[in-house]
Chain A
Amino acid sequence: MKILVCISHVPDTTSKINFTDGDTKFDTNGVQFVINPNDEFGLTRAMWFKEKQGAVVHVVNVGGPETEPTLRKALAIGADEAIRVNTPATDGFSVAKQLANVVKEGGYNLVIAGRESIDYNGGMMPGILAKLTGSNFVNTCIGLEVDGDKATVIREIDGGKETLKTSLPLVVGGQKGIVEESDLRIPNMRGIMQARTKPLTVKEPVDASAETATVSFEKPAPKGQVKLVDNVDQLIDLLHNEAKVI
Chain B
Amino acid sequence: MSVLVYTESEEGVIKKIALEAVSYAKGIADQMGTSVTAISINANNTSELAKYGASKVLEVSDDKLNKFNGEAYADAIAQAAKNEDAKVIVLTSSANSKFLAPTLAVDLNAGFVPNVVALPERTSPFKVKHSVFTNKAFAHTEIKTEVKIVGLGKNTFGLKESETSMSNEAFSPNLDAHDFDMEIVSVDKATDQVTIADAEIVVSAGRGLKGPENWGMIEDLANTLGAATACSKPVSDMGWRPHSEHVGQTGKPVASNLYIAIGISGAIQHLAGINSSKVKVVINNDPEAPFFKAADYGIVGDAFEIVPQLNEKLKAFKAQNN
Q: What is the interface of chain A, defined by CB distance below 8 A to chain B? A: 11, 13-14, 17, 19, 37-38, 91-93, 96, 118-128, 130-132, 136-140, 142, 152, 156-167, 175-177, 180-182, 210-220, 223-224, 226-233, 235-236, 238-240, 243, 245-246
Q: How far is the CB of A208 from chain B (nearest CB, A)?
A: 13
Given A123-B114, A124-B101, 20 more contacts at CB 8 Å?
A: A19-B137, A37-B250, A123-B101, A127-B103, A127-B105, A131-B102, A131-B106, A157-B68, A157-B96, A158-B96, A162-B184, A162-B189, A210-B144, A212-B142, A217-B139, A218-B129, A226-B293, A226-B295, A236-B310, A239-B279
Give A218 to B118 CA distance when docked, in angstroms: 14
B243 within 8 A of A: yes
Interface residues of B in 112-171 (CB under 8 A from A): 112-115, 127, 129, 131-145
- Chain A residues, CB < 8 A from B272: 13
Output the nearest chain A residue to B276 by Cβ-Cβ distance: A220
A136 pairs with B181, CB closer than 8 A: yes
A223 pairs with B294, CB closer than 8 A: yes
Give A212 to B278 CA distance when docked, in angstroms: 29
- Chain A residues, CB < 8 A from B99: 127, 137, 139-140
B 87-109 to A, binary, CB cutoff 8 A, 1 in contact else 0: 00000001110110111011100
Contact of B187 among A131, A137, A160, A232 (CB under 8 A): A160
Q: What is the interface of chain B, defined by CB distance below 8 A to chain A? A: 67-68, 70-71, 94-96, 98-99, 101-103, 105-107, 110-115, 127, 129, 131-145, 181-191, 193, 195-198, 200-201, 225, 233, 237, 243-244, 246, 249-251, 257-258, 268-269, 272, 275, 278-279, 281-282, 292-300, 306, 309-310, 313-314, 317, 321
A93 pairs with B293, CB closer than 8 A: no
Q: How far is the CB of A152 from chain B (nearest CB, A)?
A: 8
Q: How far is the CB of A149 from chain B (nearest CB, A)?
A: 13
Contact of A121 among B129, B132, B142 (CB under 8 A): B132
A176 pairs with B195, CB closer than 8 A: no
Query: Given A176-B251, A211-B143, is A226 in contact with B102 using a C-beta cutoff of 8 Å?
Result: no
A160 pairs with B190, CB closer than 8 A: yes
A–B complex contacts, Cβ < 8 Å, 23 sampled: A13-B272, A14-B268, A124-B101, A124-B112, A128-B105, A136-B182, A137-B70, A139-B70, A156-B244, A159-B198, A161-B187, A163-B188, A176-B243, A180-B237, A182-B237, A211-B105, A211-B144, A212-B141, A228-B292, A230-B299, A235-B297, A245-B257, A245-B278
B182 pairs with A160, CB closer than 8 A: no
Output the nearest chain B residue to A38 by Cβ-Cβ distance: B250
The 5 closest A-B pairs by CB, nearest first: A127-B102, A160-B189, A211-B111, A159-B195, A158-B197
Chain B at the A interface: mostly helix, strand, loop or mixed? Answer: mixed
Query: Given A159-B189, A232-B310, is A239 in contact with B103 using a C-beta cutoff of 8 Å?
Result: no
A245 pairs with B279, CB closer than 8 A: yes
Q: How far is the CB of A5 from chain B (nearest CB, A)?
A: 17
Query: Given A158-B195, A218-B138, A246-B225, is A118 in contact with B133 using a C-beta cutoff of 8 Å?
Result: yes
B181 pairs with A212, CB closer than 8 A: no
B105 pairs with A217, CB closer than 8 A: no
Query: Given A214-B139, A217-B138, A227-B298, is A159 in contact with B225 using a C-beta cutoff of 8 Å?
Result: no
Q: How far is the CB of A31 from chain B (nearest CB, A)?
A: 11
B70 pairs with A243, CB closer than 8 A: no
- Chain A residues, CB < 8 A from B186: 162-163
- Chain A residues, CB < 8 A from B279: 239, 243, 245
- Chain A residues, CB < 8 A from B197: 158-159
Give A17 to B138 CA distance when docked, in angstroms: 11
Contact of A14 among B183, B184, B233, B269 (CB under 8 A): B269
Give A190 to B314 CA distance when docked, in angstroms: 58
